[in-house]
Structure 1
Amino acid sequence: MVHLSLKQMRYAVAVAETGQFGRAAKACNISQPALSQQVQAIEELCGTPLFDRLKSGVRPTPFGMEFVSRARQVLESADALAAFTLGHAGEPDRPIRFGLIPTVAPYLLPEIFPALTAGLPGLGFTVSENRTDALIAGLVDGSLDVALIGTDAPLHGPRLVSRPLFEDAFVLATSRSEGTTTPVSLSSLAPERILLLDEGHCFRDQTIAACRLDGDPGARTFAATSLSTIVEFVANGQGVTLLPRIALRKEATDPRIAIHDLVSPGAGRLLSLVWREATPFGATFDKMAEIIRATHP
C-alpha cells in the first residue's frame, strides 16, 4: 500500500507552483536536497516521474499534473478540517498568521495593526514579512492564513480569494539638487539612472514594467534589499527611483529628497488581501479587509 504524507504532497505542489526545486525548498523552509529526496520518494512509490527535469527548471509530467491536482484537493480538505477543529463560530482560537510584502509592511502595518486588534477583539496576530511568491506559497502549504500583497497579476495555484483594498500610486523620488520639474513623464527618465530593488520583489517588477526598461535588468550593478537603501542613494544624487505613495511618510523625510507626481496615467499597484477559498475563516478575513480600507485614508 502506498503511504503519502501531507507534507510530501505540499512539497510536490510547491515544486509545481514555483517551477524550480530551489524556490520550492525556500518557500517550504527546508533544504533543496531534503525536498528533492521527498519528491523522489513519491516518484519511487508511484513508479513514475512527477516532473520533467529541464535546464530552466521543472515541468510536471502528465501523471504529475494529475497527482498535483489531486494533492491540492487533499490538502485543501485537510487544511479546512484542521481549521474547523481549531475554529469556533468562524473565528480561529489561535493567532491569525498574517503575511505582508516588505514594500508594504513597514509603511502600512503601524497604521492598520491597532485598528485590526481593536476591530477584532479577542483575536491575536502573528505577523511576518516576505516576498509575494513566498507568501503565496505559505497560503498554499498552510503556514499562512492571510496575506497582503501588491500585484494585479492573476494568482496561480489552489483556489484563492482576493479582496482589493486600495490603489497605491507611484511617485518619482529624485535628489532635490537635480531641480526636476513636476509632473514627470516616465518616458523621459534615463533607464540607467533608475534604481531597483533586487530580484524577487514584486515592486521591482512593477517598476520595470512602468518604466518599460529594456534589456536584462538583472545585469545591473545595483540592486537594493530595501527602499530605504535606494532612497539614500537617491538623496546622494546617484540615481532616481519610483516609490509607492504609502512609503512617503517614512522614506521622504530627508530634505535632500524631492518627490514628483507622474504625468497621467502614471503608474501604481493594487493592494489586496488574499486567503485560501477553503478556509472557514473567510468572514474574519473579509472583516480585516473592511478595517484596512476604513483605516487607510
Structure 2
Amino acid sequence: MTTITLRQMRYAISVASSGHFGRAAAACAVSQPALSQQILALEALCGTPLFDRLKTGVRLTPFGRDFIALAKTTVETADALDDFALGRTGRLERPLRFGLIPTVAPYLLPRIYPALTENLPEIAFAVSESRTEALLASLQDGRLDLALIATDPPPGGPRLMSRLLFDDPFVLATPRSELAATPVTLSALPPERILLLDEGHCFRDQALSACRLDGDQVAHAFAATSLATIVEFVANGQGVTLLPQIALRKEASDPRIAIHPIDDPSAGRQLRLVWREGTPYTAIFDRITDVIMRIGEPADG
C-alpha cells in the first residue's frame, strides 16, 4: 500500500509557504521537476488537487488548506521525535541546517564559517540563504534548525528562542562626487534619491523607518534584489543608499563610493540567532552564538 511520505508533506508545505513551485524547489534544495513530481504523486494519493495552478504561482484549494494544516502538525511531531531520539546525547547525527538573510550571508559567512568549523569540528553545516519570512517558516516546519535574522520574531508565530548577537549600525553611501554634511540627517534626504531593496526584504523596511518614509513615498523608486546592485547604481551617480556596517568591507571598497555616518544612533538593526523552543541542541546553538559574537561583530568606523 502506498502511503504519504514526510518528504511529500515537506514539499507541499514549502509550496504552500512560497506560493511558487520554483521557489519551493530552491528552498528544499531539489530540482523543480523532482518537486513537482512528488506533489503530483501526493495529489494522486489524496484523490484531489492541493493547489490551484495560476499563471503567477499556486494557491491552496480548500482541501489543500486542511491538508497543509495537518501536514505541518505531522512534520513538527516527526521532527520533535527525531530530535528527541538523536538529541539524547546532545549530539547532532546529521548536518545542522543554518539559514541566514541575504543582507547578512555574503558579509558574515566568509568570516564566521571557518571559525565555526574550527570550533565545532564535530558539526557539519548545511547553510542556506532566504528572506526572514521564509526562514521563520522553515524553522516552524523543521526544514531549518537555526536562523540568523535582523528583526524580532513576530508575535503569534512559532515558539522560538532568541539570542542577540550584536548591533549593526547603518551608514549612508553616496557617489564620491557628491558633497554631504557629516554626520548625515536622513530626514533631509530627497526620497527620490534613495535606492532601496525590493519589497519583502526586512532591510528595506528598516531603511524606510530610519529615513522616516512610508512605502507610498518611494513606490516609484528603483528597487533591487541585492545590496551589490544598489551600490553599483550609487557608484554611477544614480542615487544614495543606506548600508549596514557589516557590509562595508565588501560593498564600500569601490573608490567611487563615499561613506558617511548618520546622526541618528537608532538607525541600525540588531542581528540575532533564533531556533525552536524545546530543541535538544540548545547547548550547540549557544556555542555557535559565542563564536559569532566573538568573530562577527563589525568594527567601528
TM-score calculated relative to the size of structure 1: 0.79
Worse-matched range after superposition: 100-109 or 75-84: 75-84
- Determine the structure 1 residue equivalent to 2:269: 269
Equivalent residue runs for 1:198-277 within 5 Å? 198-211=198-211, 212-215=213-216, 217=218, 219-220=220-221, 222-277=222-277
- Determine the structure 2 residue equivalent to 1:126: 126
Equivalent residue runs for 1:30-49 within 5 Å? none
CA contact (8 A) 1:100 1:129 kept: yes
1:106 counterpart = 2:106: yes
SS in 1 for 2:177: helix
AA partner of residue 267 (structure 1): A
CA deviations on 1:170-223 (whole Å, 9 max, x unpaired) are 111111211101111111111111111233322122222322134174543x32
SS in 1 for 2:210: helix
AA partner of residue 109 (structure 1): L
The alpha-carbon distance between structure 1 residues 50 and 278, as it changes in their structure 2 partners (threshold 3 A), is farther
- Determine the structure 1 residue equivalent to 2:55: none
Task: Quote how far apart the aligned CAs of 1:5 are.
Answer: 4.3
**Partners of 2:155 and 2:161 in 1: CA distance:** 9
**Partners of 1:156 and 1:51 in 2: CA distance:** 25
AA partner of residue 112 (structure 2): I
CA deviations on 1:260-281 (whole Å, 9 max, x unpaired) are 1112244111211122224321
AA partner of residue 284 (structure 1): I
SS in 2 for 1:177: coil
**Partners of 2:38 and 2:210 in 1: CA distance:** 36
SS in 2 for 1:92: coil
Q: Identity percentage over the alignment?
A: 59
1:136 counterpart = 2:136: yes
CA contact (8 A) 1:166 1:293 kept: yes
CA deviations on 1:119-145 (whole Å, 9 max, x unpaired) are 213212122222222322332333322
1:291 counterpart = 2:287: no
**Partners of 1:156 and 1:100 in 2: CA distance:** 21
Worse-matched range after superposition: 173-182 or 268-277: 268-277
- Determine the structure 1 residue equivalent to 2:116: 116
AA partner of residue 95 (structure 1): P
**Partners of 1:72 and 1:161 in 2: CA distance:** 20
**Superposition RMSD on alpha carbons, in Å?**
3.5
Task: Quote how far apart the aligned CAs of 1:70 are.
Answer: 5.3
CA deviations on 1:153-178 (whole Å, 9 max, x unpaired) are 51654322222211111111111211
AA partner of residue 215 (structure 1): D
AA partner of residue 83 (structure 1): D
AA partner of residue 103 (structure 1): T
**Partners of 2:139 and 2:113 in 1: CA distance:** 20
**Partners of 2:244 and 2:145 in 1: CA distance:** 25
**Partners of 1:35 and 1:192 in 2: CA distance:** 46
SS in 1 for 2:140: helix
- Determine the structure 2 residue equivalent to 1:176: 176
Task: Quote how far apart the aligned CAs of 1:148 are.
Answer: 1.0
CA contact (8 A) 1:17 1:156 kept: no
**Partners of 1:161 and 1:233 in 2: CA distance:** 38
AA partner of residue 213 (structure 1): D
Task: Quote how far apart the aligned CAs of 1:230 are.
Answer: 1.2
TM-score calculated relative to the size of structure 2: 0.78
Gaps of 5+ in 1: none
